[in-house]
Amino acid sequence: MAVKLPSTFGKTIGLFIGTRSEPRDYLKAKFVVGVKGDRVEFNYGGKRGSLFHDITVAQAGWIGDRLARLSERQIRDAFRAANYREGEFSLLTKAVQARINELVELNRAAAGGEKRGLRN
């Protein structure tokens, strides 16, 4: 599925309500709400939200580990290529890195039996 980046990064409130291309909103928006059983609960109410309803902690951690291999420069370059301004792609890079770290931490917490800050 091809996605036009400038119309993607904002906050989602519901199916039809939210902001688009608002990096500050994206930076503030919560990503992982918690864990229920072995499933991750994401804060996502956009199109095709059902894709986020059945993701296990292990799956989230797996993709987090892969995404963590991206360098800061690679992430910044993606936003630069999408014609974001300097300040915007800096904010978005930080937000994406933080979200990747959340996924990696979920996996570590599950592997270590920790449940810090995660709802069961």
Domain ranges of the chain: 7-110
CB 22 within 8 Å of CB 12: no
Count the neighbouring beta carbons within 10 Å of the beta carbon of residue 47: 12
SS3 70: coil
SS3 18: strand
Tokens of 102: 């959340």
Mean pLDDT for the chain?
77
The predicted-structure confidence for 20-72, as pLDDT tens digits, reads as follows 567 777 777 888 998 998 899 998 877 787 888 889 999 999 999 999 999 99
pLDDT at 85: 85
CB 41 within 8 Å of CB 24: no
Q: How far, CA to CA in Å, does 63 sit from each of 27, 86, 100?
A: 20, 27, 8
pLDDT at 29: 80
